Each structure stands twice: as structure tokens, then as C-alpha cells.
Chains A and B, each alone.
Chain A
């Protein structure tokens, strides 16, 4: 089975992300990046499917030159080859997921895989739509919130997570797009051998399709500070002083102890 995995590279999770001077976007100059965690789970699911039923895993990412690092990591973990859709600026950010889906659609049409896997959502723009829009554009069926994948000859049966601890199995015909929920299985680390091998694997750079340069459907006008929902008291001092203040306040101010 040929599987295409769409990966997004996002700012590393633990970093403070500052707005740029104009508050139009974030200041990317000092950031380091990593593979969007839900997409890492999509890659893991693809590698496990390949191990159980054979085939090929192609990693795809759209973005500036730096996303090749994410693709190289995917190759080191076991993807067979990679496609880098070279885009810069607004189209590379994912603020309109329809643009991202358009970028990926051209790669899918070129590769004709049986299965496309994406993470459920990105940790930066977080709209959680790219896989569904991509499926719609391809005319393929999709399933989201996928936590288990059982491929069959004509169709795939997936376990979907619903709200509040509920699950459901759904069967859809091939070819299909699945948006994978985090935690579908343990993530593997790249081995030294894998990292070495990745250096010989192909990353093909392609230009974005011309339609992706069209005006987006939704546009980010700027960034604002999150609103504080409560009057937060910041407790100062050493850990011991903070702890003593908190216990005092929980006892006599909030009266919850």
C-alpha cells in the first residue's frame, strides 16, 4: 500500500512565541521548529501499516526550506522518500487551511496513494481541517479523530474517538484520507542507522500549484493578547515562600482547604 503522510513543521512546543513588531504574525527569527505532534502520530501510523502490510511511505510537507529538516526526520524514522512543496509567506502558514489542502492536493494527484494520513490538527494554527478539505477536493471519503486503522481489500475500518470517552467504528472505501488523533500508538525514535540511511533518501522539491497563489478564503488580520478570564494572583518568592502563600490563600481567601 502506498501511503502519503502530510507533515507540518511548527514552532517547538516549549518555546515562547512572540508576536512580530506589527502584530501581523509571530516573530519567526528566533524560533526552532519540530514536527507537529499529531502529524508525528500520523507518520507512526503509516510506518506501522507499512510494517504490517508492506508498501511505501511518502512524507510531504509544504513550507519554506526549513521544513526539509522535518522531512529528513521522517525519512530517518522510516519513510521511503519525501516531497517538499516549496512555499513562503502567508501560504506557508496554514492560516487558511484550504490553501494548505490545495498545496497537498497537487502532491496527492501526482503520487496517487491509496491512503493519505494527516494529524488531526496543527499546534500552531490549529484549525483541524486540512485533511477533511483535502479529501473533499480529491472526492475521497475521510474520517477524523482516528485512533485505530484496520485496512481491508476494498475498504478501511477505523476506530474514531467521539466526545467524553465514546468511540465508534466506521468503514470507508479506498482511497481515503484519515486524520489521526494523537496517542494512536507510541512514537518511535529515529535510530542511528535510520539517520544514516535518511541521508541517501530523496527529498524532491516541487513548486506550489498556481491556484494556491489565489486570495485566501479567510485572512488573518493580526494577533491580539489572550484575554484573562480570572484575576490571576502571581505568587512571588522562593518555592517555599510561594508554597506557604498558596496554602494560606487557599485556606483563608479561597476557603477551599
Chain B
């Protein structure tokens, strides 16, 4: 057999939103290479939901159903998928680049002597073979990569790399298989997921956000960011390094490990634009970036770019807003 196998992720009894983006990426890879696309879902109790992955273009959906696949454990995912892949023998195995994929997919690929093409933003076909693009140097460059290994090869697509296909039942058959998983061989003993504290600030509801990054340099300088946020009537938010430094509480963090926001106005103050931050705010209506490094990746997604010293620009903005 050949083709593309997409591994979809369930999270808390629902689809991970990136699952159907990865499916869209796989369908596009299928169209570009002439390969068929099938879906597999490692899960417990996902029989009914699996039909939603039988969208147009999908040949078949298989649920790998096992009680050991209820709570996530890396060994369980690697064992179940390695067995399925060895049987299906796909050319490509496609994943959404989620935190869960990052935890198990490199080991799964290593099982086959392969390297996961991680966090790919897209591909183009050259000489009949796909060339995958992925960010390098924090997004300052795009690397163009090829597989040097024969099938199966493994690739994960970044959040937002493809517009997700809407879940929809289709004609493709949905099968349920029970992997021959030996629960005694699973070395990880996971405990139930939890949230640290109730989130005091719901940034996702904010109309305007002023987000501050490493460029603010010092905790004492946060007051300037607070004043700028007040002048705009905006909520104050931050990128991860500010939270890691303990300068602002975790519920102010925007990014893959924080909140995903889509305000009408997003002002990035001294934020370079690491991918983990960008995935959390690229849906904003209008993005303003203020940074002294003209090559900062944040400028790639900004509507308005102000290159310069934020310690001069922010006070000037506060002044301009009050006049």
C-alpha cells in the first residue's frame, strides 16, 4: 500500500482544532503528489466522532481503539501507531504539530529510523518530490528541507499552516481496530490534566491589547507599558519571557502556552515574534509592531511597523493619544 496517513488528535473528548488543519495539509499533499489520504485516530471512545473525519478526499478512517489510549502516554501512542504504520505502509505520515505530537512523534519516527519533519509551514513539489518549509532562527529564515529516507516519512504541520477543513461525514468507510497494545509495557503513568489557577484575565475577550516582550528589558520599565495600555484603553499582555521572569502573572501570557487572542488592535511592544507567540495573536484585526530590530519576525505579520527605541516611541504615542 501507499498514500498519506494523517494522525488526528482528540483532546478531552473533542477534536484538537489543529487536527483538521493537518488533514487539510495532508489533502493538499495528496493532490500535489497524487497520493491517496487516509485518517487514523488513536483514541478511546471516538467511534462516532471519527465519521466527521471522513471528509471529501479521504479514503478511509480508522479508529485505533484501546483503553490504554484514553489518557495520553507517549509509549502507548508510539506502540499503537508503529503497528498501524507497519501494516498500512504509507509514504507519508502527517500530524498536527501539537504539544502531544512533539512528545511522541519524534520517537515514533525514530522507531522507523526516520526523522520527523517538525513544525512545517508548508511545501512545494520539485522534481516530483515535496520540499518542506520550516522556520529556522526563530522565524528569521525559512529552511527548505527534503527527506533523504525512503517511505514512510513523517511530517508535522504548524498551527495555521493550512486552513482547517470543516468536519463533515462523507462516504469513506470508518473502521475500528484494536491495537495489540500491552498496557504493562507503557512506562509513563499520567495523572489527570489540571489548571493551575482560575484565569483572572480573559484576554480573548479584549478589544485592544498592548503586549510587552523582552525589549522592555527590566521589570521597572513595565510601568511604561502599563501607561501605554491605559492610553489605548487596552489590556496589558506579555510574551513568555516576561512571564518566565515573574514580571507579570501567567494569565497575561499570549502564545501557544498561554492564551490565544484576536483583538481588533494588538500592539506588540518590544516583542521579536517567536513562533510560539505569533500563533497566539496572528488572528488580531490590526497588528502594530514596535521593535528596534528591523529584521524581527514580528514585522512579517504587522500592519504597521515602527522601527526604533520603544523607550522613545511609547512615550511619544502616549503623548499623541492624549492630544
**A209 interface residue (CB < 8 Å to B):** no
Among the listed B135, B256, B312, B321, which residue makes an inter-chain contact with A226, where contact means beta carbons less than 8 Å apart?
B135
Contacts of B319 in A (CB 8 A): 240, 243
Q: Determine the chain B residues whose CB is within 8 A of the CB of A128 once the complex forms.
A: 102, 106, 118-119
In the complex where A167-B195, A227-B142, A230-B302 touch, is A217 in contact with B288 (Cβ < 8 A)? no
Question: Which residues of B have CB within 8 Å of A235?
Answer: 304-306
Does A55 reach chain B (CB closer than 8 Å)?
no
B257 interface hit (Cβ, 8 Å): yes
Q: Specify the chain B residue showing the minimal Cβ separation from A37.
A: B241
Instruction: Encode contact with A along B56-95: 1 for CB under 8 Å, 0 otherwise.
Output: 0000000000000000011100000000000000000000
**Segment among B19-27, B29-37, B174-182, B293-301 that sits at the interface with chain A:** B293-301
B317 touches A162 (CB 8 A): no
Contact check, B288 vs A246: say whether CB atoms are below 8 A apart: yes
Question: Is A233 touching B115 in the complex (CB atoms < 8 A)?
Answer: no
Q: With an 8 A cutoff between CB atoms, is B49 at the interface?
A: no
A25 to B103 CA separation, bound complex (whole angstroms): 28
Whether A232 touches B187, Cβ cut-off 8 Å, given contacts A164-B260, A217-B114, A224-B141, is no
The one of B115, B192, B315 that contacts A218, using a Cβ cutoff of 8 Å: B115
Which B residues lie within 8 Å of A123 (CB)? 137-138
Are the C-beta atoms of A217 and B148 separated by less than 8 Å?
yes
Bound together, the chains give a CA A250 to CA B275 distance in angstroms of 25
User: A126-B138, A128-B119, A142-B107 given as contacts; is B149 within 8 A of A256 (CB)?
Assistant: no
A239 within 8 A of B: yes
Q: Could you tell me if B115 and A96 are in contact, using CB atoms closer than 8 angstroms?
A: yes
Contact of A97 among B115, B131, B260, B286 (CB under 8 A): B115
Closest Cβ of chain B: how far from A48's Cβ, in Å?
16
Question: A194-230, CB under 8 A of B: which get 1 and which 0?
Answer: 0000000000000000000001111111111111111
B188 A170 Cβ-Cβ under 8 A: yes
**Interface size of A in residues (CB-CB distance below 8 Å):** 79
Q: How far is the CA of A217 from the CA of B150 in the complex (A)?
A: 9
Interface membership of B221, Cβ < 8 A: no
Complexed CA–CA distance, A11 and B189 (Å): 38
Nearest CB of chain A from residue B215's CB, rounded to whole Å? 9
Which residue of B137, B232, B258, B301 has the most chain A CB atoms within 10 A of its CB atom? B137
Cβ B119 vs Cβ A226 within 8 A: no
Q: Is B141 within 8 A of A171, CB to CB? A: no
Q: Which residues of A contact B (CB under 8 A)?
A: 11, 13-14, 16-17, 19, 26, 95-98, 101, 123-129, 132-133, 135-137, 141-145, 161-173, 181-183, 186, 215-235, 239-240, 242-244, 246-247, 249-250, 254, 256-257
- Can you report 13 residue pairs joining A to B where beta carbons are below 8 Å apart? A13-B272, A14-B293, A126-B134, A127-B116, A127-B118, A137-B110, A143-B103, A163-B256, A164-B260, A182-B244, A224-B143, A254-B265, A256-B286
Q: Which residues of B contact A (CB under 8 A)?
A: 73-75, 98-99, 102-104, 106-107, 109-111, 113-119, 131, 133-149, 187-196, 199, 208, 232, 240-241, 243-246, 250-251, 256-260, 264-265, 272, 275, 282, 285-288, 293, 295, 297, 299-309, 312-313, 315-317, 319-321
